[in-house]
Structure 1
Amino acid sequence: MEDFNLTPSEPSTFLLMGIPGLEAAHIWISIPFSTFYIISLLGNFMVLFVVVKEQTLQKPMYLLLCNLALTDIGTSTSVVPKALCIFWFNLKSITVGGCLTQMFFLHAVSMMHSGVLVTMAFDRYIAICNPLRYATTLTNALIAKIGLVGLIRAVTLILPMPVLLRRSSFCANRIIPHTYCDHMAILKMSCEDITVNRTYGLAVACVVIGLDLLLIAVSYGQILRAVLRISSRKAHQKALNTCTAHLFIILMSYPPFLFSSLTHRFGQGIAPHVHIILANLYFLLPPMLNPIIYGVKTKELRDKVAKYLCGICCPVATDLKPE
């Protein structure tokens, strides 16, 4: 049976092996995977629900949180369900088309996530450096347009990757030692010259992530400059406090992504199971923690969430009271 699972039975399929070296622990590994995923879905759908239901929250800052929640749901859903199928049911087979589709959505939504973080940095820059112009500069219509531009950018830059790979021929050994179909993992199975594919993928990653990080750094440089001009220590803390949630999310998002990308290309000395676990945490921890962080740091959102949770729990508690 094991030999059957390890040998591709059809030329149009790949095999995702999960976490090589830790196959015996797949069931145990699935427990935190599924737990984090469920918490992520509940938290992000709660943010979406509350912002849609509450008219007072339909402002640029909260619309950006909705965009962040949507990209978090997209990135984790692109990876976790298939990983759990591997862990629970040993369903390792995936068609070439399915693998390329997963790769496209995974990288496209990740790029959109990065674009949302840049927009949130711009939001904080306007709120702190030009607060009187905030309402007229950042409107709901502008946020919608920026979101559309982010979607077009992601689709335009990522779509050539699966298109180029679709035209490639792959070697007989179609085993991917991973839980999901990553661009570099698929490239390594090609029997053809992958210079163009490799160069394009690296160029997109460097240009997009480099540009996004530069824009975030410039925004926070201007924010820091504006804060240092404020004489009041209390005003210092209040201004910086509005940025802490966003900074936490940046620190949770970019370092793991850069580690995973660089390891695929240059990290041959890193144990595969270490790389794969850390790569999966990028799709698990930020989507789970983002709504929690913003729920804790944003009083208005926290109060609205508490109102709806109380509305769900209180009737139940009332029904349980003895007459």
Structure 2
Amino acid sequence: MAEHSSTTQPRTPPKAEDIPPQSQDSMPANEYEMDPPPDYAPRHPGVGKLKGKVALITGGDSGIGRATAVLFAREGARIAVAYLEEDRDAEETRRIVEEEEGSECLLIPGDLGVKENATRAVEETVSRFGALDVLVNNGAQQWLDQDFGALSEERMRRMIESNIMGYLFTTQAALPHLKEGASIINTTSINAFAGNASLITYSTTRGATLAFSRSMAKALVGKGIRVNAVAPGPIWTPFIPGTMPAEEVEGFGGDVAMGRPGQPWEVATAYLFFASSDGSYYTGQTLHPNGGEIVGA
């Protein structure tokens, strides 16, 4: 297994005051436009925790999804990345997985809120790699709805389709291919537990993701398939400049206990725990990388 000395050295994460004002007009937004760039890089050499496994990661082009794809590749997995339309970010993720981590990466663009696209993402993964062992449902969209009464039906439906239906459709398509020992990991949010007055619709979709994870865990435990969730707090990803006005992005993460935003690599380790045999006695559970916010389990 290749060594990765360039990405195993300690690096100080940016503080909240290191985040300047910035905003983007797209959702999902672009990682390559962010300042400072999110830190996706794993901190430790791989030991083969996912050797021979195949992982499909939705929203894997950037942010938490990119960090998870790179970490899984380092641990021996072959990677399929499903994403909406952020081709430049997706190509960079593929480059990192293949050139820096020595694995394989399949890119699958498309809106997973459309069932046929979700089905195609799974079918292309299995066709390319011959199996599917880990499904990470991570792709999502988010908009502020500070004036909930004025939020458009279009945006409500867009978040529901992306954040709920996409997870349901992709999991449906994956089930025939998942065997005993497989793992499904769903991204939920601290907002599913704590609520957020500015993200009412988004928080609602993440609450649905949490309920979906717990229910699927009970449904699949007899088949030896584990289903768990990760509930990130304020993480420096394209979600932030894509959601918030520039003046609110400045100093992002300063109000949490650790006084800074989390970086994507710090969240990816939770997905690796659930995906690997390290998490073999966990199903229906949630990990909370959120910088110190105490919420219900």
TM-score normalised per structure 1: 0.28
TM-score normalised per structure 2: 0.30
Q: Which protein has the bigger helix share?
A: 1
Question: Which structure would you say has the larger Rg?
Answer: 1
Higher-RCO chain (CA-CA 8 Å, sequence separation at least 6)? 1
Q: Which protein has the bigger strand share?
A: 2
